[in-house]
Homo-oligomer: A and B are copies of this chain.
Amino acid sequence: MNIYDIAREANVSIATVSRVLNDSAKVRDITRQKVEAVLKKYNYIPSAIARGMVTNSLKTIGIVTIDIRNLYYANVAHSIEQSLSALEFNTILCNTGYDNEQKLKYLRMLVEKKVDSIILVGSPFKDPVLDKPIEQISKDIPIIIINGLYEHPNIYSVRCDDKKALETSVEYLVSKGRKNFLYLYDAETFSANQKLLGFKNAVSRFNVNSEIFLVKPGLEPAYSKVKELLDSGFDFDAVVTSEDLTAIGALKCLIANNIRVPEDVSVIGFNNSVLSVCCTPALSTIDSRMEELGRIAVKVLHKVLKGEKAENDTIIDAELILRETT
């Protein structure tokens, strides 16, 4: 069933059917009703593909993440999908993992499917290997990168001020009398580097001691690292991390070793995920405002799609959430 069938039954031309389907132009009321009756009778749904053939758009956006099981990505993706849906856009979800080959494969798929734009979630997408292809794509469609910085025409950055966030954390802990910091981070992306930079800035500014370690993502690696540090007699009274899960690993190790939190050691995580309220004591953390980032990304995109001028780099502030580990 297509508009020809509808047109025939309604005794009008396909152009008229198309018009009422999109109410794109004036159609006499009586004609419209005639057509609508037939449309309803068959519960007719037009083909977005055929429309896309003409308009060269499926009203679909690709959203590219590392792994949607990660709460951070899930939250941003959800926010994006919802904002987009309100604008009548659909979302193609891509979980690329960390492998660049996979990322390229997905990017290609999205181009094939003629998405109206691609939203890259997370800084792992700012990578030398990907730069060329991404810039190539940006010649045809706008690209938004969340929590990555990409200075290139038609590529828009929307991010949270990670650097400042870490500075704020350290500052707060210093104000509480903490003097010996441990920083655990689990990635070496743009965003991770910003956090690290913020941490380093702050400890040097406040002139406190600090040790920094890169650990594998997850709870276990952080647990082991802290255990190792404890065993080696390393002394610290504050743990700051780049991820909630890492913080929780550290926290669990401290508790297991009868170190009181927050009396002896303070802990601050990052992201304000559900995880942070599940542990005991509940984790103080930094809210990186994932939903807000998603919303802004779509807002920027919408502007660009409408041909309006949009901010090339939007930065919002994170927020320190104090719970029981500080």
Interface residues of A (CB under 8 A from B): 43, 45-50, 52-53, 56, 58, 60, 63, 67-69, 71, 74-75, 77-78, 81-82, 85, 90-95, 106, 108-109, 111-114, 136, 219, 245, 248, 252, 255, 274-275, 277-280
User: How many copies of the polypeptide does the oligomer hold?
Assistant: 2
Query: CA A90 – CA B58 in complex, angstroms?
Result: 14
Contact assessment for B274 and A60 in the assembled complex, using a CB-CB cutoff below 8 Å = no
Query: CA A245 – CA B115 in complex, angstroms?
Result: 37
Chain B residues with Cβ under 8 A from A63's Cβ?
Answer: 93
Query: CA A194 – CA B114 in complex, angstroms?
Result: 43
User: Which 7 interchain pairs have the tightest Cβ spacing?
Assistant: A93-B93, A48-B112, A278-B278, A49-B52, A48-B113, A74-B74, A280-B280
| Closest Cβ–Cβ distance, residue A103 to chain B (whole Å) | 12
| Closest Cβ–Cβ distance, residue A281 to chain B (whole Å) | 9
Chain B residues with Cβ under 8 A from A75's Cβ?
Answer: 69
Tell me which of A43, A49, A53, A255 has the highest count of chain B C-beta atoms within 10 A of its own C-beta. A49
Contact assessment for A78 and B82 in the assembled complex, using a CB-CB cutoff below 8 Å = no
Chain A interface main SS type = helix
Query: CA A234 – CA B114 in complex, angstroms?
Result: 60
Contact assessment for A113 and B49 in the assembled complex, using a CB-CB cutoff below 8 Å = yes
Chain B residues with Cβ under 8 A from A92's Cβ?
Answer: 60, 90-93
Chain B residues with Cβ under 8 A from A111's Cβ?
Answer: 45
Contact assessment for A113 and B77 in the assembled complex, using a CB-CB cutoff below 8 Å = no
* Cross-chain pairs A/B with CB under 8 angstroms, 13 sampled: A60-B113, A68-B68, A71-B71, A81-B93, A85-B95, A90-B92, A92-B92, A92-B93, A219-B277, A248-B278, A279-B279, A279-B280, A280-B280
* A88 and chain B: residue at smallest CB distance: B109
